[in-house]
Amino acid sequence: MDKISTENIDLKVKLLEDFREFESGLNGETKNYFHKIRQDAIGTFNELGFPVKKLEEWKYTNINPILKHDFKTTQHFADSKLSADDIKDFLFQENGVNLLVFVNGQFDEKLSKIITKNDGVFIGSLLKGRVILGEVVEQHFSKYANYKNQSLTALNTAFAKDGAFIYVKRNAAVDEPVHILNISDSRDESYLSQPRNLYIAEEGASVKIVEDYYSIGGKHSFTNAVTEIYCGPNSNLERYKIQSEGEYAYNINTTQVMQEKDSLFSDTTISWGGAITRNNLCAVFNGTNTECHFYGLYLLNGKQHVDNHTLADHAMPNCYSNELYKGIIDDKATGVFNGKIMVREDAQKTNAYQSNGNILLSEDATIYSKPQLEIFADDVKCSHGATTGQLNNEEMFYLRARGIGKEEARILLLNAFAGDVIDSVKIDSLKKKLRNTLSKKLTKEN
Amino acid sequence: MLTIKNLKAKVETDEGGKEILKGLNLQVNAGEVHAIMGPNGSGKSTLASVVTGREGYEVQSGEVLFEGKDLLELSPEDRARQGIFLAFQYPVEIPGVSNTNFLKTAVNEIRKSKGEEPMSSVEFLKMIKEKAKLVNIEPEMLSRYVNVGFSGGEKKRNEIFQLAMLNPKLSILDETDSGLDIDALRTVAEGVNKLRSKENAFIVITHYQRLLDYIVPDFVHVMYDGKIVKSGGKELALHLEEHGYDWITESMLSV
């Protein structure tokens, strides 16, 4: 086991104390399965400590700056002080959407709005879901996101209390997208929010989920989110995760997907903001003929740091995975892409593709791009490609020779570069909002 | 319209640069078509690059005036806005940017530089339709990404289509004929001929006399070793076609 650095000790010790306090406030709940898992998880966190750069998986991401702040945890949260007006700008569509609002990890029922009324569909908070659909939660909770070797997943699991819970029963379809709005409100205090999300699409079910992360306020915030997704046989689940937080926000986000046979899962992860962001995304294929798509876009400036770790785990034959991640990095920002494709012995006839493209706009911008293919089957089609460069001079000259100014040409080319990731978005209103944000960010950069 | 006096220019290389243009003179007036011919490496494309402002070239001496203004001080976009157009020898593919969006941006950027309002969508579509006919451009090509997946002929037609859309004063056609079959060549040449007027001028850079059967020039210049070594009328092109460039190089060497 790696030793934790001395800088880490304060927050770790504080969190362990916080856990005891959290536990003492739970009263009768401490004896159920849910809390048994928490207790086991805090033990793991205590053992592992925060990840250090010596670990291969954290080689390029130093989380020490996060650990210097005195974050308040779950039991110290004040009630949400936000109004409908405060969150207006965070919406991609005002009507025709299910809206779940979480402020510092706590469900804000007043600001939330559920419009899908289908039988067998639950869209709401995990806290409530545990009451109404206790058996379903018990069947899936902490079954996919393994915390035994992931200290931050362990930390989240230890404090697991609330988050978004979406349950779509067999053959049900949720037509209206679900918008989960996570807001870090650090106007008064620095908070550690640990949303615990669970999305379940049973056999033949379909749903589209948009997870947005925003921050307000001038103090630091730390979100350590864990999302577990279960895609039943022949289900279709689309998930969009968009990080739009400000310069004082830290966000570590772990998503673990379990895909049964014939299921289709698609993830789009977009990182616009935040000081340090780490996205872990893993899909495990537990049945044949499953398909998954990973799309990603990161647009970084200042001293931002974004680390995307993905894993497509082909455990069964005849599955398809496709990954496209793109980054535009300016100033002194750093991007990390670590995309792994695992093709296990039984996964014959696997088709797995991966591509990572980066444009560096300044001398001080950095990208660490690491594609990893581990193939143990012999009849597979796999490919990966990574490109990193500056804006293409020939393309620039072609545009400028037509009277298009240098700045306008730059924006046109960068929009085009990032465009195919945004084209993968299947919710029109969201796609439009993302396109606008992209153009605005590209224009603002100079 | 365009006056080039004693132009000397280097192409930047790892070894510090290589002189390509070695004192070139050229005068192009409104309403004229000039053909520039010459063997490979004589500096024809370098001339096009220097006049349009491509990076990677260093002008050492001489001047390039366009309607009395010093062109060499201007950025490529400002030269285009003044009315200079380059039909590229190798048009660039730009994935993600549609032809229509590209042209609309170009048209409006040029209008903006003149203090004009952006063109309305209706007006723009009307113009696109009209100009597309000139060079047999299918409307479907306009919604595709700029030059992506275009055949050689389509790329060259797209260049002339852009020329028609932007309506420049001076157009430089850099080996627009190379790699074209005879049908595509005719289409391109007919397009150019329809756009010729008393107000504009063309510089046609080519290896081959063939194009000049269709775009008949007022003047033919022969470039050799970074200079124009011989100028004449259209009959000079025919002579070159028959006798090659050797007689020129020989007469140069004997000087």
Q: pLDDT tens across A383-437, in order?
A: 999 999 999 999 999 999 999 999 999 999 999 999 999 999 999 999 999 999 9
For A417-431, give one letter per residue: b (16+ CB within 10 A) or e: bbbebbebbebebbb
- The answer to whether A413 contacts chain B (CB < 8 Å) is yes
Average confidence (pLDDT) over A95-100: 96
Distance (Å, rounded) from C-alpha A131 to C-alpha A32? 13
State how far residue B82 is from chain A, nearest Cα, in angstroms: 9
Identify the band that residue A29 occupies on the pLDDT scale cut at 50, 70 and 90: confident
Write out residues 90-149 of B within 8 Å (CB-CB) of A. 91-92, 94-97, 101-102, 105-106, 109-110, 113, 145-146
pTM, two decimal places: 0.89
Residue range A38-67, pLDDT digits in tens: 999 999 999 999 999 999 999 999 999 999
* pLDDT tens-digit readout, A360-380: 999 999 999 999 999 999 999
Share of chain A above pLDDT 70, in %: 97
Does the pLDDT at position A253 exceed 60? yes
Residue A3 has pLDDT above 50, yes or no: no
Name which residue leads in pLDDT, A445 or B28. B28
**Interface touch B76/A398, C-beta < 8 Å:** no
pLDDT score, position B50 = 96
The alpha carbon of residue B140 is apart from the nearest alpha carbon of chain A, in Å, by 19
Average pLDDT per 10 consecutive residues for chain B, totaling 255 residues: 95 87 95 92 93 94 95 96 96 94 95 94 93 86 92 91 95 90 89 94 91 93 92 88 78 61
The percentage of residues in chain A with a pLDDT greater than 90, rounded to a whole number, is 89
What would the mean pLDDT of A219-235 be, rounded to a whole number?
97
User: Does the pLDDT at position A27 exceed 90?
Assistant: no
Q: Is residue B108 part of a domain?
A: yes
pLDDT in tens, A294-306: 999 999 999 999 9
A403 touches chain B (CB under 8 A): yes
**B248 within some domain:** yes
pLDDT at residue A5 in the model: 45
pLDDT at B254: 57
Q: Is the pLDDT of residue A7 over 80?
A: no
Cβ pair B109:A403 closer than 8 A: yes
Check if the interface score ipTM surpasses 0.85: yes
**What is the structure's pLDDT at B138?**
86
User: Do the Cβ atoms of A412 and B91 come within 8 Å?
Assistant: no
Q: Which amino acid is at A47?
A: E
The answer to whether B162 contacts A405, with C-beta atoms less than 8 Å apart, is no
Residue B2 in domain: no
The pLDDT tens digits for A138-147 are 999 999 999 9
Q: Which domain holds residue B193?
A: 29-44+76-254
- If one counts the domains in chain B, the total is 1
Going by pLDDT thresholds of 50, 70 and 90, the confidence category of residue A6 is very low
Mean pLDDT across A320-349: 96
Confirm whether B20 is domain-assigned.
no
pLDDT band at A444 (very low <50, low <70, confident <90, very high): low
Instruction: Tell me what pLDDT residue B180 has.
Output: 86
| CATH code for the domain in which residue B162 is found | 3.40.50.300
Residue A308: what pLDDT?
A: 98
Is the model more confident about A334 or about B230? A334
Per-residue pLDDT at A272 exceeds 60: yes
Q: Is residue B62 part of a domain?
A: no
Residue A327: per-residue pLDDT: 97
Q: What is the pLDDT of residues B88-97, one digit of tens each?
A: 999 999 999 9
Contact between B97 and A416 using a beta-carbon 8 Å cutoff: yes
Residue A4 pLDDT: 43
Q: Which residues of B touch A408 (CB under 8 A)?
A: 105, 109
Residue B67 domain flag:
no
Would you call A394 and B102 a contact, using CB atoms and an 8 Å cutoff? no
Inter-chain touch B75–A406, beta carbons under 8 Å: yes
The pLDDT score that the predictor gives to residue B242 is: 83
Q: Is residue B164 part of a domain?
A: yes
- Give the residue, A187 or A236, on which the prediction is more confident: A236
A400–B77 C-beta distance less than 8 A = yes
Residue B15 in any domain: the answer is: no
The pairs formed by B73-78 with CB atoms below 8 angstroms and a separation of 24 or more are: B75/A400, B75/A406, B76/A397, B76/A400, B76/A401, B76/B52, B77/A400, B77/A401, B77/A403, B77/A404, B77/A405, B77/A406, B77/A409, B77/B109, B78/B113
Closest Cβ opposite residue B77 in set A394, A405, A419 = A405
